């Protein structure tokens, strides 16, 4: 009798992005490309964190447009709604329900220590709202609802993941094995994309200098112009050496979009000036983004398709998370039908 080989279930991975701005080149190279690879190896849930975005005042019409744009971008970069769960956070009420319960198992002192709360409070002193204080609990709910094994995190989110782990330890300690303990997932080394105007700082969505960041939907001419204006140094040699932060950043970006090593890039541009190099980097980035931009344009034009994907994604996310929420509700003493 032929034995059927048992395959282990895929590990669950979850990642959400806020729809407050178009992603920049660093988001694309550092996170979004990796998400596409992950869906082959993991059971992936990807979402648009619209609930998180309103801790800062938003223009409603603009936010709606950005949610749709962000969702279409996820599909355009290569995420498959059939392989992964792609949803908008606010379309699944389980997030808000679990967040309230978990907030009753989170200590005030733990939230007071969150550095992002302090940073954002300083940045928006006119609007230090309760949501800004408690949103790490909503972040924990996002993760725990789907029993995620792994969460892709950057350095700035490690503290929030640690809080989620503390909540799991506390809740499971009281009620037994309810939540999976999530681990941080550090992706394999990709280009660390720095600002084109201040190459010692990471490229940022909040940078007010329009030439500092390349947005993934910038047209070809804009991309090339921004790279032509990139800050370098007073030398003319394309090489990775101390004190050449601007050139190293451009070499790193060039390598990320062409697959070339720093040494190969150095050889290619030996004896050539910065002008020629900057143009080549701009053109290579524009070429890399062009297929995704064309796909985004096609998807965005089909409003029925986006809405259908959103509805199906919401149903899928709701079903995947309802069991966890109901288990939690029963554990804390609620009546569940």
Tell me if residue 205 is catalytic. yes
- The active-site residue out of 12, 202, 278, 288 is 202
- The active-site residue out of 120, 226, 278, 288 is 120
Torsion sign (Cα): 38, 253, 193, 52 = negative
**∠ CA 77-227-157 to the nearest 5 degrees?**
50
Which backbone phi and psi does 49 adopt, to 5 degrees? -85, 70
The Cα 281–Cα 128 span in angstroms is 42
DSSP string, 255-271: HHHH---HHHHHHHTTT
Tell me if residue 201 is catalytic. no
All residues at 6 or more sequence positions from 325 whose CB lies less than 8 Å from its CB, including other chains: 94, 97, 98, 145
- The active-site residue out of 11, 192, 205, 316 is 205
Q: What is the CA radius of gyration of the chain?
A: 22
Q: What would the two tokens of residue 289 be?
A: 């983004």
Tell me if residue 228 is catalytic. no
At 140 the three-state DSSP class reads helix
Q: Could you give the residue numbers annotated as active site?
A: 120, 202, 205
């Amino acid at each position: 009798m032929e034995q059927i080989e048992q395959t282990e279930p895929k590990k669950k991975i979850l990642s959400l992005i806020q729809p407050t701005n178009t992603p920049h080149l660093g988001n694309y190279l550092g996170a979004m490309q990796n998400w596409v690879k992950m869906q082959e190896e993991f059971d992936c849930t990807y979402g648009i964190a619209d609930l998180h975005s309103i801790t800062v005042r938003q223009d409603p019409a603009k936010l709606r447009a950005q949610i749709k744009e962000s969702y279409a971008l996820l599909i355009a970069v290569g995420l498959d709604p059939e392989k992964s769960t792609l949803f908008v956070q606010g379309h699944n009420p389980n997030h808000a329900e679990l967040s309230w319960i978990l907030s009753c198992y989170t200590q005030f002192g733990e939230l007071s220590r969150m550095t992002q709360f302090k940073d954002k409070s300083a940045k928006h002193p006119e609007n230090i709202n309760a949501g800004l204080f408690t949103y790490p609990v909503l972040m924990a709910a996002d993760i725990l609802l789907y029993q995620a094994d792994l969460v892709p995190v950057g350095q700035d989110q490690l503290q929030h993941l640690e809080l989620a782990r503390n909540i799991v330890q506390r809740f499971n300690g009281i009620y037994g094995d309810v939540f999976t303990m999530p681990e941080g997932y550090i992706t394999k080394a990709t280009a660390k994309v720095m600002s084109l105007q201040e190459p010692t700082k990471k490229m940022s969505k909040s940078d007010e200098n329009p030439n500092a960041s390349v947005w993934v939907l910038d047209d070809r001419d804009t991309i090339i112009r921004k790279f032509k204006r990139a800050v370098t140094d007073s030398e003319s040699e394309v090489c990775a050496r101390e004190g050449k932060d601007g050139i190293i950043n451009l070499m790193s970006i060039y390598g990320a979009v062409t697959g070339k090593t720093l040494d190969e890039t150095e050889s290619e541009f030996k004896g050539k000036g910065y002008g020629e190099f900057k143009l080549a980097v701009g053109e290579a980035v524009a070429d890399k983004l062009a297929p995704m931009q064309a796909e985004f344009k096609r998807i965005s034009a089909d409003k029925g398709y986006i809405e259908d994907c959103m509805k199906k994604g919401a149903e899928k996310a709701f079903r995947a998370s309802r069991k966890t929420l109901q288990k939690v509700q029963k554990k804390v003493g609620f009546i569940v039908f």
